[in-house]
């Protein structure tokens, strides 16, 4: 009987399967054989990170050594927020029609194309369908990590009530539970005799002012006769002979002799042209025609010093935002995604952020809650300070050299993406602010347990 391997945000544990075997009709599992605490937050990003993925493999190997299981086959329970779980009606359709129906149901719930997800389903006794989906890339990484740790993966399930029996390793045409029983062969009762219902006869009333058909036919025939008569007259009418063209006289004979008034007018025009040319020769170029210095980009850009002042204020201990997933400045827009305990703290953090200078239009939005963690977003508008100097042109080469000076890492994929310790990243951003370059977008996010990553766009 396979064991049950459960992944949670801060720990992983190995459980003994139920006596009747897992998966069952509910997500309950036996008591844990062994539990290993994690010193990092386990999330889908952990499987893609070159730093956190080996740490997860080492933790799984430690769990296997400490529990010393009798077998290595496991059913894996992953957090429910990693995937999508839907409860949809289950119509009686053919397999190919059912696949199209499930594809359509998922397309309404997913932001990305359904082709990027692996999904499976299970029929319930009431003929409804429990449908779960997980990104295909994430499912492949789970297989690799479990295989590297020494376990044999037999199934992947979402750790959520009433959905923990749907195996994501099965194809969409297979079911994790037995299909509903076939209907009994009892013949249906004969249909009840009902007398035919006479349908009412609706008579089409003639609209007012309508003309009889023969009237329209007469109008059409009269129009055709008029067209034929007009064409016949054009073809058979008498044509008048055209006059013989006379030879035109030479140009010297056709040019009229200039009159005294014409001579006086030509002299006046020549004098006006001479005066205008002389005046234009001494006119200096207008200020608008002089070479203008290059201006910054047309987008509304807030000075980096003003952004860094707001960022330093958010990271202080007095603010509620001690953990966050992302802080972003794009043009004049501001966005922070905090990780707090409940919706009330989200509103408190929004009220604190609204007190920052020159920050307006602050609003918060609650997105999801699970356990003692609440996620949401707070956005606003940061108005540029007119007392500060306008930002100049920023250079990608200068930003790269400045990041190297502060010891930040740069991924080989390219772009203005830098990773390092919190103090080094903030020192780098403060020096960028001191240079007063035009930075359109600034993004700051935690990267693992001790590192931070910043993304710049000029």
Model confidence at 190, pLDDT cuts 50, 70, 90, reads low
The answer to whether 5 and 36 are in contact (CB under 8 A) is no
The answer to whether 57 and 37 are in contact (CB under 8 A) is no
Mind listing the domains of the chain with CATH numbers?
Answer: 3-159 (3.30.420.380), 304-457 (no CATH)
Distances (CA, A) of 95 to 62, 182, 184, 318, 397: 44, 16, 22, 58, 58
Helices 422-435, 396-405: axis angle to 10 degrees equals: 140
CA-derived radius of gyration, the chain: 41
Reported residue count of the chain is 458
Provide the H-helix boundaries in 177-259.
213-236, 251-254
DSSP-assigned beta bridge partners for residue 456:
442
Query: What is the rounded distance in angstroms from the CA atom of residue 309 to the CA atom of residue 80?
Result: 38
For the cut 90, the answer to whether the pLDDT of residue 146 exceeds it is yes
Residue 401's φ and ψ, nearest 5 degrees, are -65, -35
Amino acid 268: pLDDT:
64
Residue 53's closest CA among 45, 65, 61?
45
Amino acid 122: pLDDT:
86
The answer to whether 142 and 47 are in contact (CB under 8 A) is yes
0.75 exceeded by pTM: no
Query: What is the rounded distance in angstroms from the CA atom of residue 448 to the CA atom of residue 356?
Result: 28
Amino acid 313: pLDDT:
84
Amino acid 19: pLDDT:
39
Residues whose CB is less than 8 angstroms from the CB of residue 303 and which lie 6 or more positions away in sequence, other chains included:
384, 385, 388, 389, 391, 433, 436
Query: What is the rounded distance in angstroms from the CA atom of residue 208 to the CA atom of residue 362?
Result: 63
Amino acid 296: pLDDT:
43
CB atoms within 10 A of CB 203: 5
Q: What is the pLDDT of residues 399-418, one digit of tens each?
A: 999 999 999 998 877 789 99
> Comparing 1-5, 230-234, 262-266, 450-454, which segment has the lowest mean pLDDT?
262-266
């Amino acid at each position: 009987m396979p064991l049950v391997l459960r992944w949670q945000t801060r720990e992983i544990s190995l459980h003994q399967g139920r006596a009747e075997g897992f998966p069952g009709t509910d997500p309950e599992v036996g008591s844990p054989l062994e539990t290993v605490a994690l010193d990092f937050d386990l999330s889908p990003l952990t499987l893609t990170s070159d730093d956190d993925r080996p740490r997860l493999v080492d933790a799984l190997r430690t769990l296997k050594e400490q529990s010393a299981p009798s077998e290595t086959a496991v059913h894996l329970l992953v957090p429910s927020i990693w995937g999508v779980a839907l409860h949809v009606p289950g119509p009686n359709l053919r397999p190919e029609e059912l696949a199209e129906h499930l594809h359509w149901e998922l397309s309404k719930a997913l932001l990305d194309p359904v082709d990027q997800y692996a999904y499976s389903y299970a029929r319930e006794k009431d003929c409804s369908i429990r449908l779960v989906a997980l990104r295909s890339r994430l499912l492949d990484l789970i297989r690799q990590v479990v295989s590297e740790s020494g376990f044999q993966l037999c199934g992947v399930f979402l750790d959520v009530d009433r959905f923990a029996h749907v195996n994501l390793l099965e194809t969409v045409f297979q079911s994790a539970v037995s299909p509903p029983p076939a209907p009994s062969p009892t013949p249906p009762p004969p249909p009840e005799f009902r007398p035919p219902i006479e349908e009412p006869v609706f008579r089409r009333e003639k609209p007012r002012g309508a003309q009889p058909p023969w009237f329209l036919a007469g109008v059409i025939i009269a129009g055709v006769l008029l067209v034929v008569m007009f064409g016949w007259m054009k073809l058979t009418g008498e044509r008048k002979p055209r006059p013989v063209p006379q030879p035109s006289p030479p140009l010297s004979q056709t040019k009229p002799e200039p009159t005294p008034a014409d001579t006086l007018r030509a002299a006046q025009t020549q004098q006006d042209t001479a005066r205008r040319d002389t005046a234009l020769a001494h006119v200096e170029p207008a200020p608008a025609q002089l070479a203008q210095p290059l201006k910054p980009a047309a987008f509304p850009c807030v000075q980096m010093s003003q952004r860094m002042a707001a960022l330093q204020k958010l990271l202080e201990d007095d603010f509620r935002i001690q953990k966050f997933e992302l802080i972003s400045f794009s043009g004049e827009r501001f966005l922070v995604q905090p990780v707090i305990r409940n919706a009330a703290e989200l509103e408190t953090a929004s009220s604190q952020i609204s007190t920052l200078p020159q920050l307006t239009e602050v609003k918060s939005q609650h997105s999801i809650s699970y356990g003692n963690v609440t996620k949401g977003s707070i956005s606003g508008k940061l108005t540029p300070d007119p007392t500060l100097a306008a930002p100049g042109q920023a250079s990608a080469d200068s930003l790269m050299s400045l990041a190297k000076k502060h010891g930040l890492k740069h991924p080989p994929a390219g772009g203005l993406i830098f990773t390092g310790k919190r103090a080094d990243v903030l020192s780098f951003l403060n020096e960028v602010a001191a240079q007063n370059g035009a930075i359109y977008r600034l993004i700051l996010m935690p990267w693992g347990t001790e590192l931070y990553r910043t993304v710049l766009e000029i």
